[in-house]
Amino acid sequence: MTNASAPKRKSRVYVALVHHPVTDKRGDVVTTSVTNLDVHDIARSARTYGLSGYYLVTPVPAMHWFIRRVTRFWSEGVGAEYNETRRKAFELIRLVESLEEAVADIETERGRRPVRVATSARPQVEPVSFAALRERIDTEDADFLLILGTGWGLHTSLFDMTDLTLAAIEPDSDYNHLSVRAAAAIMMDRLLGAR
């Protein structure tokens, strides 16, 4: 008998939300703030689609304090008793200072380096399609780290640290400015959702 509440994992897939280094509207390197919605919404999507971990990437001590405070409330405090499904989602959260630290954590846990997949709302050179990445997740004996950027996207230096770049989400409209939380949910559904 299967446990209906247990996540269905096709492979070991992780997600990282990077707050540094990312770019601003002018293309300058910046550090963005972690929002309450970043913590909640992507954790919930990650749990829904059976991911193995959700990394919040920021070097800012004040942001670490904020994230710990929010996660403690929903994991240990009154919030955990009030909303068990939120507690289960928050079990996936991992706080790190850099993308390198997230990759090292997965390597320690799984005994191998994950396939690092950068994302961008802007078209990239030779991106991997959603269908091709889904096929790899379904068939390869590998771990995957989906890397999302805040602000105006991942800084170019991070693309040098990755193995693949996922194709941009292309809506059939002249407006393309999804929140990173909405984009994360769309990506997870295309890569791991039921078909």
46 lies in a domain? Answer: yes
Cβ atoms within 10 Å, residue 173: 6
In degrees and rounded to multiples of 5, residue 50 shows phi and psi of 75, 30
Could you tell me the pLDDT band of residue 184, with boundaries at 50, 70 and 90?
very high
For residue range 21-78, list pLDDT tens digits in order.
999 999 999 999 999 999 999 999 999 999 999 999 999 999 999 999 999 998 887 8
Q: Which comes out higher in pLDDT, residue 172 or 131?
A: 131
State the DSSP string of 65-108. HHHHHHHHHHHTSHHHHH-HHHHHHHTTEEEESSHHHHHHHHHH
For residue range 131-164, list pLDDT tens digits in order.
999 999 999 999 999 999 999 999 999 999 999 9
Could you tell me the pLDDT band of residue 11, with boundaries at 50, 70 and 90?
low
Which pLDDT score is estimated for 177?
A: 84
Count how many domains the chain has. Answer: 1
Nearest to 57 by CA among 13, 29, 108, 93: 93
6 lies in a domain? Answer: no
pTM: 0.92
**Residue 36's domain is classified under what CATH number?**
3.40.1280.10
For residue range 80-95, list pLDDT tens digits in order.
788 788 899 999 999 9
> Under a CB-based contact definition with an 8 Å cutoff, are residues 127 and 135 in contact?
no
Cβ atoms within 10 Å, residue 177: 8
Q: Which comes out higher in pLDDT, residue 50 or 9?
A: 50
Q: The domain containing residue 44 runs over which residues? A: 12-58+92-192
43 lies in a domain? Answer: yes
131 lies in a domain? Answer: yes
Which pLDDT score is estimated for 76?
A: 87
Long-range contacts, 155-163 (Cβ 8 Å, 24+):
155/21, 155/22, 155/23, 155/29, 157/21, 158/18, 158/21, 158/99, 158/118, 159/118, 159/124, 161/99, 161/100, 161/103, 161/116, 162/116, 162/117, 162/118, 163/115, 163/116, 163/117
86 lies in a domain? Answer: no
106 lies in a domain? Answer: yes
Could you tell me the pLDDT band of residue 1, with boundaries at 50, 70 and 90?
very low
- Token readout for 104 is 């090292």
119 lies in a domain? Answer: yes
